[in-house]
Structure 1
Amino acid sequence: MLEKINHNRRYFLTTMIKTIAATQFGIFGCTKQHATSATAELPIEGELPSLVGVIAWLNSQPLTVDELRGKVVLINFWTYTCINWLRQLPYVRAWAEKYKDQGLVVIGIHTPEFEFEKNIDNVRRASTEMKIDYLIAVDNDYAVWRAFGNRYWPALYFVDTQGRIRHHQFGEGEYERSERVIQQLLSESGTDRVGQEMVEVDARGFEAAADWNSLQSPENYLGYERTENFASPGAVLNKRRLYTAPAQFQRNQWALSGDWTIGKQAIVLNKSGGRIACRFHARDLHLVMGPTAPGTSVRFRVFVDGQPAVAARGLDIDGRGEGTVTEQRLYQLVRQPQPISDRQFEIEFLDAGVEAFAFTFG
């Protein structure tokens, strides 16, 4: 997911009538930007805002700002399908473990991007699968997000023992700098056993760093509110329609074939046999999707350049190039070996009842 600052919200570029003025949507996506202004003095950037508005706490009893005084606090805004946050996670998890006995408190503020991410059971399941042991505050109403004036997933805010924000980091990266800030704030607090060593992480699967040198495909949403480069002719909003895909694609275009409904946030497959296709240039391709009905599953096949995705299969694909959608989350469908080049991706659903939200790449 690439930087969203100063980009305009965009609707279908082909057959859709643009009836709403474009607005900034910096809050609407993960970002890889590095907007940190680092100085040795760590200037005061503000006060830790109230945590009132959190609807639930996981791994913790409810906490207040007053109860956090005397602790160095790392605030991490996240949403569980954000690939940029997933790649940042191993570092946050390692810092939480390494410095917990030295006075660091890590709080993950889960502020949802998609409606299904408001489901606390989904958040709880994801945090368990991702081995998150630090505190999690569920911010479904964006109360804490707004109190911070935050606009990005992921975002880190570093707070000293007096409740003052001393540093921030928007997007992935700058891990050594972030850990140095943690060490400095702990040292300022009087902790005398803070070492200078950096954590070492072994990031794999979803958490592996992107192949930035070959990444030429940006995140793209599939719902009509924010999609770009839709190539199937005759798009219709909020109604069932039979779509066909063009014979050829330009890089980063996408298309549908089969019986689909294009909604505001997602596309929904009404009959089995529907396909989504796109042309991309990246090592990894992910798709945020899930079954439309809880407790159901949808089988699929993945093709790369017309062949079953076997050598280039991602984590959620078996040795035959097939997989099953069982829950609402991010699925890794392609991890192609070198050399990286333009590829034609296609996913065929063998059952109806799937909804797809966004492509992300790495």
Structure 2
Amino acid sequence: MACHGKLKNMGKFRFVFVIFALCTTMLSCSSQDKTEKMLLESSQKNFQQALDKISVAVRDPEKGKLIVHFVTPTTMASREAMEYLDGLKPELEESGTKTVYVCSPEYEFLKIGNELSRQMSGLKPKNPVVFDMDYTIWAAFGAIKYGHTSLVVDGEIKNSEREFVGKTTLEKLLDNSFRSISKTASEIPLAPSKIVKCGYLDGRIGNCKGTEIERVYEFTDPRSYTEFTPYLEGKWYFGPEMAWHSDDRTGRLSVSFTGKEVCLFAKSQSGEPFSIQIWVDGSLPDKTSYGSNMKKGRVLVSDGKIYNILKNISPASHILTLEIQSKDCAIFSLEFR
């Protein structure tokens, strides 16, 4: 009987435990939903406040300079950036520089970027506006280029000479000596095969270095079109070029160029090799124009290095098309010689 009573009590305990677990799970899910909703509402509110302040600052020279800090809620880089910028804030405010934070989930970056691009494109700022962001957000915002604007990344200013500078130079430049980015693109390619009018940036167009690159013809994953300077073994390659993160989908990029040779900087993010299919003027390249790293119209990428993909090309204008045929993330930049 005693054993039967224990079993009966254990059955009751299991039932109560299951009910408790279900309730805990439901409460946890409900709490998570509420947290995400609050984050989203807070993000939208901060975003609108930022836009309002940007509009005022760029129209009214007496309002002083404005720094807009884009930060993610979770990344360590963002927390470090927040601490660094909070330390600068008192000195900046003394010099009449206003600051505003935009904290947003990553999936909102492109939406925010599009809206900022739309609003800023119709304005001619009388004062510099500094956009400060960690690398994650910089990757998402890379396609948006603002005239009369300096971009600051992790405390380093990306100015028209593409210098990488630290805190001392940042403070110096904030003292009314900003360098504006030269004529640049004001829109993100939002649909495949859309002709994107890319402005010149330091003599280059579409962020591809070459002699007479006319335009970027198509880009099928606009979220990842970003300015990027590859760094390998202590050396900066090519200057700012292009980074392409294919994420979970294949992507294609086509650019027009004039040159005899094409090199590619690429690296597998996952460590697994991936292939890139190459076309020239819509066809597989002739074998006589294969670069040293090209086989059967493809280049296999694994380690981060310079890949020679085409050489001995006729000097006429061509359209180069690249397609990543893997779901692995990739970063690459192009140089036309």
Q: What band does the TM-score fall into relative to the shorter chain? A: 0.3 to 0.5
Per the normalisation by structure 1, the TM-score is: 0.34
Q: Please give the TM-score of this superposition, normalised by the length of structure 2.
A: 0.36
Q: Which has the larger radius of gyration?
A: 2
Higher RCO by CA contacts (8 Å cutoff, separation 6 or greater): 1
